[in-house]
Amino acid sequence: MAFATNLKRLLFVIAAIPLLYVSFLLLLLNGSVQRHALYAHKINTAWWQDLNEPEQWGFLKNQVQAFNLTTPDGEVLYAWHILPVSLYSKNQKALLLEPSGLASDASNSRAARLLRDDPESRLVITFHGNAGTVSQGWRTDTYRALAATADKVHVLTVDYRGFGYSTGSPTEEGLIIDGTTLVNWVLEVANVPPERIVIVGQSLGTAVATAVVEHFVVQRHIEFAGIALIAAFSDLSTLIMTYAAGGIVPFLSPLRMFPRAQQFFASKIKDTWRTRDRLANVVRHSRKLDLVLIHAKNDYDIPWSHSNTLFYAAANATSEKGMSSKQVDGVKQHIDLGAQGWTNVWTAADNQYGLKRIQQTILRRGGHNRIMTYDSVSKAVLELFKL
């Protein structure tokens, strides 16, 4: 009797799984549900921790300046400015006298003055992935790694609308506004020239970073020292075909046996994040360019093949006539890094402005998030700054 009862329960569970999945797909047709699933901005594993006390993540007192920014459409964004350790050490006495917590006037804080008043300072603007806040997971370790690359490399990051302490709800258009607001603050308030800025994005942040760079390159003819895209994806419609949240919960991959159904649901995505098209546009409109793509082979969230797609799209965009992948392969420089992985480099000369350099590094290990703390990323940033 017990066996028969347990068997019935098992059969019920097996029968319920497809029904639950179909219900999940139908829910995804709703824009709000879709965006909650994509951005996961309500998933916060450190909700009890005060972001205005960065010391609890291992930072020195007042090494991190928290401040707010207001977007043109009225949202308030929460941001962190992380000082390089060596610079902090030289200014420790003065920094310890500064008020802790959220700055009332970030433009006149000592951290901002140290960035603004030093003509040798450099700034990494980093855009993080989905879920959580600026302090989530490996992110604080990432800032430390980047801020330790050189004596005068500052790090700036922000929580998009709807994330952490930032107001609003995330959308593709909204996150692009958030990114451009942060960069505008750097250019116009902190007065850091674009040639001393490197834009870094990871995961979702690569889509934000590319869209922000496209805005400044195409609309304002402003070019930065370099761009680094870590664990990037070509576009959301392609990614969602194989994407599993956390490497576990699938979106559309169970529908691979039903391509028409898979295509139907993919076509209903509200925020498409067409990074491939935007990156090609950046390459075409840039006078000179230094772009780095880094991905791990063991990234189970976003397959490294997406970085391949972006590499070839970017290389192709350097030619007016266009090139096939085989043509790019015939000319690109391939560097074997042994157990670390490999690097591909494409360069295109412009007689008037200089080089467009596109580098792709595939690491054998690093996963989806931890890769940001790897020396390969820090080294890439240093090289983009020509340090």
Residue 199 scores a pLDDT above 80: yes
Can you give the pLDDT at residue 6? 53
User: pLDDT tens digit string along 297-315?
Assistant: 999 889 999 999 999 999 9
80-84-85 Cα angle (round to 5): 120
Neighbour-count burial of 185, counting CB atoms closer than 10 A to its CB (0-12 exposed, 13-18 middle, 19+ buried): buried
For range 174-181, the mean pLDDT: 97
Sign of CA dihedral 56, 58, 61, 66: negative
For range 120-149, the mean pLDDT: 91
Sign of CA dihedral 44, 48, 54, 56: negative
Residue 22 in tokens: 């179909």
Q: Is the model more confident about 241 or about 115? A: 115
Can you give the pLDDT at residue 243? 67
What would you report as the CA-atom Rg of the chain, rounded to the nearest whole angstrom?
A: 22
User: pLDDT tens digit string along 358-379?
Assistant: 999 999 999 999 999 999 999 9
Three-class DSSP labels, 60-111: CCCCEEEEEEECCCCCEEEEEEECCHHHHHHCHHHHHCCCCCECCCHHHCHH
Half-sphere exposure of 271 (CA within 13 A, CB side): 23
218-240-318 Cα angle (round to 5): 30
H helix or E strand, kind and range, residue 136: none
Can you give the pLDDT at residue 128? 96
Residue 335 in tokens: 């560097």
SS3 48: coil
User: pLDDT tens digit string along 48-96?
Assistant: 788 999 999 999 999 999 999 999 999 999 999 999 999 999 999 999 9
CA distance 80 to 92: 18
Residue 164 in tokens: 């952490």
279-247-133 Cα angle (round to 5): 70
Chain length of the chain: 387
Neighbour-count burial of 252, counting CB atoms closer than 10 A to its CB (0-12 exposed, 13-18 middle, 19+ buried): buried
User: pLDDT tens digit string along 207-225?
Assistant: 999 999 999 999 999 999 9
Residue 212 in tokens: 């922000």
Q: Decide if 313 contacts 280 (C-beta within 8 A).
A: yes
Task: Give me the percent of the chain exceeding a pLDDT of 90.
Answer: 63
The band of 244, judged by pLDDT with boundaries at 50, 70 and 90, is low
Q: Count H helices, E strands: the chain?
A: 15, 12
Give all strands (DSSP E) within 151-296, no chain letters: 153-159, 197-202, 226-230, 244-245, 249-250, 289-296
The band of 247, judged by pLDDT with boundaries at 50, 70 and 90, is low
In sequence order, the 6+-apart residues with CB closer than 8 A to the CB of 368 are 203, 231, 247, 296, 299, 300, 301, 302
Half-sphere exposure of 386 (CA within 13 A, CB side): 8
Give all strands (DSSP E) within 128-206, no chain letters: 153-159, 197-202
User: pLDDT tens digit string along 9-38?
Assistant: 555 555 555 666 566 565 666 667 777 778
226-to-118, 222, 343 alpha-carbon distances in Å: 20, 12, 17
Can you give the pLDDT at residue 17? 55
Least reliable range by pLDDT among 116-130, 259-273, 336-350? 259-273
Can you give the pLDDT at residue 101? 87
The mean pLDDT of the chain is 87
The band of 130, judged by pLDDT with boundaries at 50, 70 and 90, is confident
The band of 99, judged by pLDDT with boundaries at 50, 70 and 90, is confident
